[in-house]
Structure 1
């Protein structure tokens, strides 16, 4: 863990020096991923990713004033449409992954479903799929999105003009209280059927405090950097050399399918931007296939509507997680029809 923290910190410093976008997340992520792949034994900090998500979630929630929540509610039809697009896109991705990686249709479906990696690996094993392939494909998808989308958005997108509310209170005791309450909220939400409670719970808490006018506390930039560092390290240490060497064909196929998902999301973002009036970069981050926390951080860094990006991803995760078996049944029918069609 100490070595991972050292490698991640050096990666962040190097990324700042070289001018890499989102340096304190991409630097630690790439540094730890490379070190892990070449055989260095690294481990993420206990609850490190969760702690980073709590910080980010609270920061986003504190921006959700009553006006911002009203704006987000108006976009519910767009959120549902975006979720349907992601479901269709991932089904096509599964049909592509199956022959490319030479896996069965069960493994291909759960490996490309835009939901939690651990959950999909467990369900895949229960349904007769290969959990190792599912986990590796999800890790590569998330890594690809995190490595590519923020660079594209920050490098070519137009930054927004949103700023932290001027009424935010700068107080360390109140900040500690808010963070403690955010962590407690996440713990209380874990048994409930909510997606990603470590991010969503603090968002709800921050929105309740800020929207009601009860408390709007400023989140220091140093704390946001720490959150990015912890999240980047946790992503990088997922890559294990033994698994990558055992499944090289899956790695290549996963990279190809991830590229397809990113390009498809970029294209769909043009349609959503035109239909909803959202800025293109906000639409792109909202439709990016995975990595909700990382996309929200990117939106925050770009002064975009991070709360809208979070709402889109939460809607997508909630719908997909609650209907995954129904969607799988539909996919099986589709796959069977395509398989039985005469050539």
Structure 2
């Protein structure tokens, strides 16, 4: 799939209302209602059967299945971003001076973990290339531990296939989100951390004020190179509010449930039958390499736990090759140290985004300098 085909397929997705109001038709609003009604029912069913992270995984599984089957859905504008704001605030409010000091003491471990993630994602590129029969550029940026938009753009600039890169990242993130909560339940145990900053006031006005401040911080940080400002910005806001004692506020559990539904719905709707069917070999190879990376993360978590004394589940989520929002949410719902998971992932994203071209040169050298598209 070339860049134009991928862009066209993205353009056909139902999106937020544009300025002309083209999507404000009754049909569009009907799709929005249908989408989130299905998501709520899926979350309720997942909760009934005690599925891990039910309000995110239930909508994710159901909407992904329907989306692959060809059904059309519509998403609330800024829904995913607002969900991240709520999650980020809840995590940030858990920081205290003692937690900040404990997190800072893990800085050497964060650096080592980041280098380990870079190493095993590069190994994944060596595995992915022959399985998918793609060029070296596409293989490297498809498995690099960076954001999908950034990696697809850089791959395109260097002659790779951005469509393949985007599909692999979507499969990797989705695979990790689908498997890791079950692995955490099977091989770990829930922690004792609070799910939200429940000790603070749930006064509606204070909650709205905190959300507004988190949203404003995210908007201000959006033009900066800071990774994932919609999550990291509200985390900073929550830290400032919590540590300074500016005011006491707790994010209601219901709001976290809504955030899970919105995020799971967004993830599920990223699966499109036309993309997956156009790249069957790439899709199959993506599944194999995703499992490889999850296995590497589990092995690394054993070492990280032995070196730092962190619970295995916290170490595993800290190394898991997925989007920071989903892993932080998993840690939060499992009552683990979500703030530590956040710190590891933010460190990883910051280092990867600033050094990916240097690592690509190393990969090119190991591949004998062959970085152009395969014939």
Please indicate, yes or no, whether the TM-score normalized by the shorter chain is above 0.5: yes
Q: Does 1:334 align with 2:366?
A: yes
Structure 1 residue 68 displacement after superposition: 0.6
Q: 1:32 aligns with which of 63, 73, 76?
A: 63
Corresponding position: 1:267 with 2:299: yes
- State the partner residue of 1:110: 141
Give, in whole Å, the separation in 1 of the partners of 2:277 and 2:264: 23
Post-superposition Cα deviations, 1:243-272, rounded to whole Å, max 9, x if no partner, equal 111111111100000000001100110000
* Alignment-derived partner of residue 152 in structure 1: 183
1:59 paired residue number: 90
> Whole-Å Cα distance in 2 between the matches of residues 99 and 292 of structure 1?
29
Q: What is the aligned partner in structure 2 of residue 90 from structure 1? A: 121
Instruction: Tell me, yes or no, if the aligned pair for 2:197 and 2:249 is still in contact at 8 Å.
Output: no
**Contact residue 45 and residue 234 of structure 1 kept, 8 A:** no
Partner SS for 2:191: coil
Count of aligned residue pairs for this structure pair:
339
CA distance in 1, matches of 2:219, 2:369: 44
Matches within 5 A, 1:121-200: 121-163=152-194, 167-200=199-232
List alignment gaps of at least 5 residues for structure 1: none
Match of 2:347 in 1: 315
Cα deviation, 1:33-64, whole Å, max 9, x if unaligned, reads 00000000123321111111100000000001
Is the 1:48–1:230 contact (alpha carbons within 8 Å) kept by the matching residues of 2? yes
CA shift at 1:14, angstroms? 1.6
TM-score calculated relative to the size of structure 2: 0.88
Contact 1:66–1:212, Cα closer than 8 Å, also in 2: no
Q: State the Cα distance separating 1:9 from its structure 2 match.
A: 1.5
* 1:236 lines up with 2:268 in the alignment: yes
CA contact (8 A) 2:52 2:185 kept: yes
Matched, 1:218 2:272: no
Question: Which runs of no fewer than 5 residues in structure 2 stay unpaired?
Answer: 1-31
Distance 1:204 1:18 in 2: 36
How far residue 337 of structure 1 moved from its aligned partner, in angstroms, is: 6.8
Distance change >3 Å, CA 165–CA 101, structure 1 → 2: closer
Verify: 1:16 aligned to 2:34, yes or no: no
**What is the match of residue 257 of structure 1?**
289
